[in-house]
Homo-oligomer: A and B are copies of this chain.
Amino acid sequence: MEYISGGVTAPEGFQAIGIAAGIKKQDRKDMAMLFSKVPANAAGTFTTNVVKAAPVVWDRRIVQENKQAQAVVVNSGIANACTGKEGMDYCAQTAQAAGAALGIEPELVLCASTGVIGAQLPIDRICSGVRTMTPLLSDSEEAGTLAAEAIMTTDTRKKETAVRFTLGGKTVTIGGMSKGSGMIHPNMCTMLAFLTTDCAISQEMLQKALSEDIKSTYNMISVDGDTSTNDTCILMANGLAGNEMITAPGEDFDTFCAALNMVNTWLAKHMAADGEGASCLFEVIVEQAESHAQAVTLAKSVVTSNLVKTAIAGHDANWGRILCAMGYSGAEFDPEKVDLFFESANGTLQIISEGVAADYDEGEATHILSAEAVTARICMHAGEETATAWGCDLTHEYISINADYRS
């Protein structure tokens, strides 16, 4: 099981493309399409926000009722959220245009959008973009990269990866691309992830694998604590690898889940590291916790604390803020058992020992916290459970992106 180059087009039978369709200003890429040569089992997880964007409503119905999809049309620039009935109609029109161009049922077309909330899609440009993209679809690595670039908003780097493994002698691949925090006309951090695989796996097991895996990957990242109206993760499996269909738990399913976790972990970490204004990836590991739920609650509370994140931005070993964020997380624990270590490529240093300051050197701590990826490892001495969360530091650039966008 290993990472390979490429993204959504790495698995057998998946094509992609990304273009500039005139939704963003300045001729930047803003539309992508994904296509499977055959209908694929489709699983999805969506935002828990009460306010759901139109494409979220559209996709959720398809995944839950039809359980199959063959194409995904994505646009960046406008989120198609808080757009009422008109927004829903535009999803249907997009699916219809894609269905006609691709020669498939509109019910096999998923939609996703990211960008400003409240504005209506320029539906003519969307439909003409769909028609432009269809003949350009390709299974090349480059085409996958174009798609990964087209879904970016304020992301500074494209995010795509793939993992290859064998199941019963057959080569199976999972590919993925995602976008993290960003906006054009500033809006919210919208997370979109699109995963493809040629694995033969029933829709039920596919959804089970995805629903379980997001708990330890996408749901463990935070850029600013704001849950988008558009968060969407789609996983399509077209079965072209030719492995024996996975229809129940077992060794094959476990292998598939392990590979899926590699893809999702990679994408999640890279989204966190490329959070708005981020200068570093901030990883929080809570170990020896009493329960997994406790570990998750503590790790997420630390990784989302504004005060912890500004301290990380300042390379400041301000450990009191970490203990404080653990304290208000809602989890019960004994502060006097807590050890804390800071780790990075620059070294490892114990900062807290049994709830009070360890005898550490501030200069060394600052050196460790000056790396591009920084880990806070928190040992609870209360059990055997572990959880890891990923985020980023909170910088002046975050404020600039989100407040001063008119300049």
A399 proximal to B (CB < 8 A): yes
Contact B118 A404 (CB under 8 A): no
Contact B328 A226 (CB under 8 A): yes
How many residues of A sit at the interface, in one of the four size bands? Answer: 35 or more
- Provided the pairs A51-B326, A186-B316 are in contact, do residues A357 and B118 lie with their beta carbons within 8 angstroms? yes
Contact B81 A333 (CB under 8 A): no
- Provided the pairs A84-B336, A356-B83 are in contact, do residues A402 and B50 lie with their beta carbons within 8 angstroms? no
Q: How far is the CB of A118 from chain B (nearest CB, A)?
A: 5
Q: How far is the CB of A325 from chain B (nearest CB, A)?
A: 7
Contact B50 A327 (CB under 8 A): yes
Query: Which of A21-29, A98-106, A156-164, A307-315 forms contacts with chain B?
Result: A307-315
Contact A325 B118 (CB under 8 A): no
A400 proximal to B (CB < 8 A): yes
Chain A, range 375-401, C-beta contacts under 8 Å to B: 393-396, 398-400
Q: How far is the CA of A325 from the CA of B228 in the complex (A)?
A: 8
Q: How far is the CA of A396 from the CA of B395 in the complex (A)?
A: 8
**Contact among B118, B327, B331, B393 for A320, CB-based, below 8 A:** B118
Residues of B within 8 A of A41 (CB): none
Contact A310 B82 (CB under 8 A): no
**Contact among B81, B117, B307, B336 for A402, CB-based, below 8 A:** B307
Interchain residue pairs with CB less than 8 A apart (19): A49-B328, A50-B327, A50-B333, A51-B335, A82-B355, A117-B321, A117-B324, A186-B311, A188-B321, A226-B324, A226-B325, A310-B398, A314-B406, A316-B403, A316-B405, A316-B406, A395-B399, A396-B399, A399-B399
Please provide the 6 A-B residue pairs with the shortest distance between their CB atoms, ordered closest to farther. A117-B320, A51-B327, A314-B403, A310-B402, A227-B328, A49-B327
